A = this chain, B = another copy of it.
Amino acid sequence: MQLSERKIKILQAIIRNYLESGEPVGSRTISKYTDLNLSSATIRNEMSDLEEMGYIVQPHTSAGRIPSDKGYRLYVDTMMEEKDRELEELKEMILEKEDKMDHLLKQVARLLAVNTNYATMISAPTIHSNKIKFLQLSRVDVNQILAVVVVEGNVIKNNIIPVSEALDDETLLKLNILLNTHLNGLALEEINLSMISAMKQQAGIHSDVVADVIDAIAESIKAEEDLEIYTSGANNIFKYPELADQQKASDIINTFEEKQMLTELVQDRLADENSTGIQVYIGNETPIQTMKDCSVVTATYELGEGMRGTIGIIGPKRMDYDKVVGTLKTITHQLDELYRKKT
C-alpha cells in the first residue's frame, strides 16, 4: 500500500494530537480537528490502513490510536521543518558570564531542563588530540614533586609524585628541559620505549624520577577518557504519566544518577566523526535499554581544536520534537560562538 497525501495528513494529525494530550486519539477527533472535511468513518478506514502499515497502534480494541515508533520516525524524518525559533531566554543567558567549564555545562543542562520540561544531559568535551603542549615539574615538598601537564586545548592535569631522593633546583630545571624537549608536541601513543630509555640515560642518576614522571603523565592523559557528564531535570519525567510509574521512573532515575550508562549514548555519537548534527532515537532505537520507553534527542557541539561533547534530551516518545531540535540548534550554536569569543 502507498502512503497517500491524505494518509500522511491524518497521521500527522494523530501525532500532533497525541503529543498534546497523551491520550489515544480517535477518528472523530481527527475528523473535527483537521481541515480535511472528512467524516469519522472515512478517517476510520484510513486509520485502519495506517495501523496495518504499522504507523499507529491501538493500546486495546476500541481505544483510539497512538503513534508507533515507526510513526514517530516518519514524523520526525519528513515533517519536521527547520523552524528558527526565538529563544529569547537562551540568548540573553548566563552563558557569557560563566567561565569555569564545569559550571557552564551544569548551567546549560539546567537551562535546557527548565526550558523544555524534559530531562537533560551534557557531556564535557573530550579532547581528541591529546598532544602534550607543555610540561612542568615543581618541588612542593622535600619528597614530593608536582607534575603539571598541559595538553592541546589548554586542558591541565596535575599529579603529585612522591620521590625518594631530594632534588635540588638545578636538577629540577634540567629535568624540565629534558622532558619538554623530548615530549612536547607528542601524543601519548607516540611516546615509545626507546625515547623513554634515551631520556633515562640523559637523566643519569635521576632516571627513576623520569620513569615516575612519565607514568604520571600517561595516567593524567588517560584519565581524561572517562568523561564527565552533567544532568538536570531528571524529575521532569514525573510530568509524563506514561513514564511516571514506579518501575520505569526508578530505572530512568537510576540511569541518570549512575551516569555510566549515559556514556554509551555519548560514545555512540562521538564515534561517528561526521555526525555533527542532531540525532533522534525513538523508543527502541536508543542504545540505552532502560530508555526504551523514551525518546532521546542528541546534539554534538564543538569547541574547536577537536574538543567535542554531546547534549542529550530525554523525554517521552510524545516529545515536542520541533521545539527540542530548535532549542538544541540554538544551544550548540551559542556554545560555538562563546568559544570563538573567548579565543
Q: Give the shortest distance, in Å, between A203 (CB) and chain B (any CB).
A: 20
This chain: how many copies in the complex?
Answer: 2
Interface residue? A15 (CB, 8 A): no
A258 interface residue per 8 A CB criterion: yes
Assess the A238–B249 pair: CB atoms within 8 A: yes
- State which residues 247-264 of A face B: CB under 8 Å: 249-251, 253-254, 256-258
- Asked if residues A100 and B223 are in contact (CB atoms below 8 Å), the reply is yes
Q: How large is the interface on A (under 10, 10 to 19, 20 to 34, 35 or more residues)?
A: 20 to 34
- Pair B148/A134 contact, Cβ less than 8 Å: no
A255 to chain B, nearest CB (A): 9
Complex formed: what's the CA distance from A250 to B243 in Å? Answer: 12
With a cutoff of 8 Å between Cβ atoms, the chain B residues found around residue A234 in the complex are 253-254, 257
Which residues of chain B are within 8 angstroms of A231 by Cβ–Cβ distance? 257
* Structural contact, B223 and A235, CB atoms closer than 8 A: no
Which of A110, A133, A150 has the most B CB atoms < 10 Å from its CB? A150
B150 touches A156 (CB 8 A): no
Complex Cα–Cα for A166 and B249 (A): 56
B146 near A138: Cβ-Cβ < 8 Å: no
Q: Taking CB as reference atom, which chain B residue is nearest A109?
A: B257
List B contacts of A133 (CB < 8 A).
140
Where the two chains meet, the residues of A that have a C-beta atom closer than 8 Å to any C-beta of B are: 100, 110, 133-134, 136, 138-140, 144, 146, 148, 150, 154, 156, 158, 160, 223, 231-235, 238, 244, 246, 249-251, 253-254, 256-258
Q: List 24 A-B contacts (CB under 8 A).
A: A110-B258, A134-B139, A136-B136, A136-B148, A138-B148, A146-B150, A146-B156, A148-B148, A154-B160, A156-B158, A233-B257, A234-B253, A234-B254, A235-B249, A235-B250, A235-B251, A235-B254, A238-B246, A238-B249, A238-B253, A244-B246, A249-B249, A256-B257, A257-B257
